[in-house]
Amino acid sequence: MYGLTEQFNNPQVGQPSFQNNGGALAMASASREMEEVKGQIFMAKQFPRNVFQAEQRILDTCKRPALAQTAMYSYPKGGTKVTGPSIRLAEAIAQNWGNLSYGIQELEQRNGESVAKAFCWDLETNVRQEKVFTVKHSIKAKGSLKQLTDPRDIYEKVANDGARRLRSCILGVIPGDIVDKAIAQCTETLAGNSKGPLKDRIAHMLKGFKDLYRVTQEMVEMKFGYNADSFSEYDYVELLNIANSLKDGMSKVEDWFPKEDIKQQSSGLANDFKEQEQKAEVKLDAAPTGNVPTEQPELLL
């Protein structure tokens, strides 16, 4: 047994004990995690999923209008439109499919960035999808990068970037035909169980675009290529997908409504206003000068 004097003279005397303690803690933590995984696999084997019941639960969940409204996302890419199931729909499918382990883990933080992992593991079939990615601690605001220092902001940034990877992992494990049936059921829910006439719902949606994103009805009609009076249920669903994409930060207003179209619309309105002013001036010049007219000329403003 070493005395206190020898410990102070030789600081490395007690170091092996600390290393052994650290190694023992690491081994205990790894052993505990391994036992938890074995327990999950054992329970999944003891109570396997009923595929038909799981499919029915998923379709019943997709009949809820609140989920159907956020079930799809869409964004423009290369002149075409990309659509797919959102993270909300993917999570709902995973919850009702059963015997899945999925989530997002932050592995480490270093030099203004985080290394995280998104995963989904089917405990019955041992099918696993995993994606490791890096998240910069910065966001783009007003054309410049803003560094994040608040731990809460960093956590939200990692969770937001990890949601897309988690959705990809879940959809990589769930059978594709189940996902297709869920999407079809959500579309049917929006078309058949929507409250109120289609005209009123589209008008409410257009008002929301104008109030939240300064997107006018003319800009929406210019994108679709026809008047809002001709919008169908599928157009209403597409408007919902665009709104969800803007809300989740998957795209920007300029991605859907280019600035060139806005400028053309503004210039067109300005030309119409000038023409109306010229017509008003012509009417004023043509009025008789000797007597005051009983009725004032109508100004087209």
pLDDT by residue (tens digit) across 72-88? 887 767 766 677 899 99
Q: What is the pLDDT of residues 190-224, one digit of tens each?
A: 777 566 787 888 899 899 898 888 888 888 888 88
Q: Which residues touch 279 (CB under 8 Å, ≥6 apart)? A: 300
As a whole number of angstroms, the distance between CA 104 and CA 174 comes to 18
Q: What CA dihedral angle connects 160, 161, 162 and 168, to 10 degrees?
A: 110
Could you write out the DSSP letters of every residue in 247-299? Answer: HHTSS-HHHHS-HHHHHHHHHHHHHHHHHHHHHHHHHHHHS-SSS--SSPPPP
Confidence of residue 259 (pLDDT cuts 50, 70, 90): low
**Residue 176 pLDDT:** 93
Mean pLDDT of 63-79: 81
The rounded percent of the chain whose pLDDT value lies above 70 is 75
Q: What is the pLDDT of residues 22-40, one digit of tens each?
A: 677 777 777 777 777 777 7
Taking each helix axis from N to C terminus, what angle separates 198-213 and 217-224, rounded to the nearest 10 degrees?
Answer: 110
Q: In terms of C-beta density within 10 A (0-12 exposed, 13-18 middle, 19 or more buried), how is residue 231 classed? A: buried
The token duo for 114 is: 């985080």
pTM: 0.63
Q: What is the pLDDT of residues 121-172, one digit of tens each?
A: 999 998 999 999 999 999 887 778 888 889 999 999 999 999 999 999 999 9
- For residue 18, pLDDT over 50 is answered with no
- Contacts of residues 6-10 at CB distance under 8 Å and 24 or more positions apart, as own/partner, are none
Which position has the higher pLDDT, 246 or 81?
246
Q: Compute φ and ψ for 116, nearest 5 degrees.
A: -130, 170
